[in-house]
Structure 1
Amino acid sequence: MIQDIAPHEYRNEYRPLPPEKDSIALYYEDHTVLMKKTAEGIEYPTFADLEHLNEEIYEDYTYLFSIDNERYYLVEEINRERLSPFTMENTELFRAGEPQYRAFAGITGYQLYTWYKNHRYCGHCGTMMKKDTKERMLYCEECHNMEYPKICPATIIGVTDGNRILMSKYAGRTYKKYALLAGFVEIGETVEETVKREVMEEVGLKVKNIRYYKSQPWSFSDTLLMGFYCDLDGEDSITLDEEELALAEWFEREDIPVEPSRDSLTNEMIMKFKNGEV
């Protein structure tokens, strides 16, 4: 999966040390990131690459994380008219971009970029928020409101029936490949209850024997994904929620029309079942 970057080591402790000239500068605009494509793959600019575009770049920054001994920072307000050879590229490239640790850094930085952008002002009193110096937190000096990075828990659900697994396609989305059922955890319910509710809501089926598989941070949607397999309980006739799904079908292991990919928990769970490992 995209976060599996070993032997590289991701460290997310909040250590807001000043950047150096060779520190990595991540710059985003909406759904794009500043980078260039080289023979080795994704390359981000360093502070030395951008210092001529913003004289205050060493003062106006946000520490993000480190990978190995390389520190990553969020930067703002650069004069892109003078940029070369870096270009703005869509963040979707991180799904398959190489090297993998650079793709993971880029999408994780993007999640933090959107959080900082969406929390400039206090949601309670409207005062400009301040960055804490000890932890990754924004606080309001007026009303003392505190905000931490947004993480939404969600489930990925592999519904099985003997040698079959239920797969679906989303309705109204650009992603057109087969996926498993999925849904966000609601207030006041356990993740196991989420599994039962989402399966019933999306395909009208009951399930039992719910068992946890694995989790994945999914920065494309501020989500922590939790994967579960479960067994069909009773009738297998599907009642489709057409607002959520374009289709849902049962597939025998040998007929699953999905091939391995690097990025997602969904793909790994499908391939585990296809290969008879579940």
Structure 2
Amino acid sequence: MIQDIAPHHFDNQYHPRPPKTDDGVLLYRKGRVYIQEDGHIPAVRELCGEDRDRLQYLFSIDERAYYTLLQEAKQLPAGYAFLALNVLRTLRDRVAAMAAVSGHQLWNWYQTHLFCGSCGRSMRADEKERMLRCDHCGNMVYPKIVPAVIVGVIHEDEIVLTRYAGRSYRKDALIAGFCEIGETLEDTVRREVMEEVGLQVRNIRYYKSQPWSFTDTLLAGFFCEVSGDRQIVMDLDELSMARWVHRRDIPSDAEGISLTGEMMSVFKKYGHLWQRSLTDMVK
């Protein structure tokens, strides 16, 4: 998955330090990141001096720290282009992909919280933790993380695959949805499955989680079994297709970056025996 960059270490603790010349600078415009096609990220040394003084610390990977600018750069480094974030889904440089997508989530949070939601005054970054503070009214804001579920609904050797309606992503997927206030994750699984395909489920079992910075989301993956009638009643507003698929016919996961793809691959390989140890499943 996109966060699996071992042996490299992603350190998201907020301990800003003065930038070094070889540290990375992640520059964004809405939905786009300023990189080269091979994933090369600009370095601090490529910025003009005024921009270096305005860098906001984000995180580090191994010994390299990454920063961003909360305002447009005075002079963009040459040799790069603003590419759509979706290019990160197929980028071979996984460290660059992880850095760029995680950086965009933080950059977007800073951009959308420049002003206090309580009094309208300017916010400033706290010195000790990843938090924005309003000095006028004391309002404190932390990064937004949205919980959501990915659900593999199974019956014997079949699984429900879906395709979204009205989205650019056209490939097969599993049932997914965001948690509502007051819901447990398991309640979300039941509700989303019923809303999207009209099925009741039982034996809800947790599989794995994944940070999905494309949508500010923390995904929680579950498998469950259909209970009773297997007739799919599809939500036409959400889905363009929903069907039972035998595991031998599940498409291969060419991207290898998403929890959805991994869960489909696990069921394709192991069927109802997916509960084997994760060590065995990823061999």
Is TM (by shorter chain) over 0.5?
yes
Unpaired segments ≥5 residues, structure 1? none
1:67-91 CA-to-partner distances (Å, cap 9, x unmatched) read 00000001232245x6421221111
> Which residue of 168, 171, 190 maps to 1:196?
190
Q: CA deviation at 1:208?
A: 0.2
CA–CA distance in 1 between the matches of 2:24 and 2:251?
40
Of 45, 49, 56 in structure 1, the residue corresponding to residue 46 of structure 2 is 49
Residue equivalent to 1:103: 97
Superposition RMSD in Å: 1.2
The 1:11/1:110 distance shift into structure 2, 3 A limit, reads same
Aligned mates of 2:252, 2:9 — CA distance in 1: 30
Describe how 1:58-73 pairs up with structure 2 within 5 A.
Answer: 58-73=52-67
Give the stretch that moved more between structures: 103-112 or 92-101. 92-101
Using the TM superposition, give the Cα deviation of residue 146 of structure 1 relative to its aligned residue in structure 2, in angstroms. 0.8
- Matching of residue 216 in structure 1 with residue 213 in structure 2: no
Give, as a single letter, the amino acid of the residue that structure 2 aligns with 1:19. P
Alignment correspondent of 2:15: 15
**Is 1:266 matched with 2:260?**
yes
Q: Distance in 1 between matches of 2:108 and 2:205?
A: 33
Determine if the alignment matches structure 1 residue 226 to structure 2 residue 220.
yes
What TM-score, normalized to structure 2? 0.93
Equivalent residue in structure 2 for 1:129, among 123, 134, 142: 123
Shift of 1:58: 2.5
Mapped partners of 2:240, 2:174: distance in 1 = 13
The one-character-per-residue Cα deviations of 1:131-169 (angstroms, maximum 9, x if unpaired) are 000000001111111110110000000000011100100
Q: What SS is found at the alignment partner of 2:183? A: coil
Measure the CA separation in 2 of the matches of 1:100 and 1:118.
27
Q: 1:248 & 1:122 partners in 2: Cα distance?
A: 43
Name the TM-score, length of structure 1 as normaliser: 0.95
Q: Could you tell me which residue of structure 2 aligns to residue 139 of structure 1?
A: 133
- Give the aligned partner of residue 233 of structure 2: 239
Query: Among the aligned pairs, what percent are the same residue?
Result: 48
Distance in 1 of aligned mates of 2:232 and 2:72: 51
How many residues were matched structurally?
Answer: 271
Tell me whether 1:92 sits opposite 2:86 in the alignment. yes
Choose 172-181 or 69-78, whichever is displaced more: 69-78
Paired residues of 1:260 and 1:268 also in contact (CA < 8 A): no
Cα deviation per residue 1:34-74 (whole Å; 9 max; x = unaligned)?
1123xxx31111111122xxx32222111000000000001
Residue of structure 1 equivalent to 2:27: 27
Gaps of at least 5 residues in structure 2 are: 275-283
2:4 aligned partner: 4
Write the deviation string for residues 92-119 of structure 1: whole angstroms up to 9, x where unpaired. Answer: 1111112101100000000001100000
Conserved 8 A contact 1:18-1:58: no
- Give 1:252 shift: 0.8
Which of 201, 204, 207 is the aligned partner of 1:207?
201
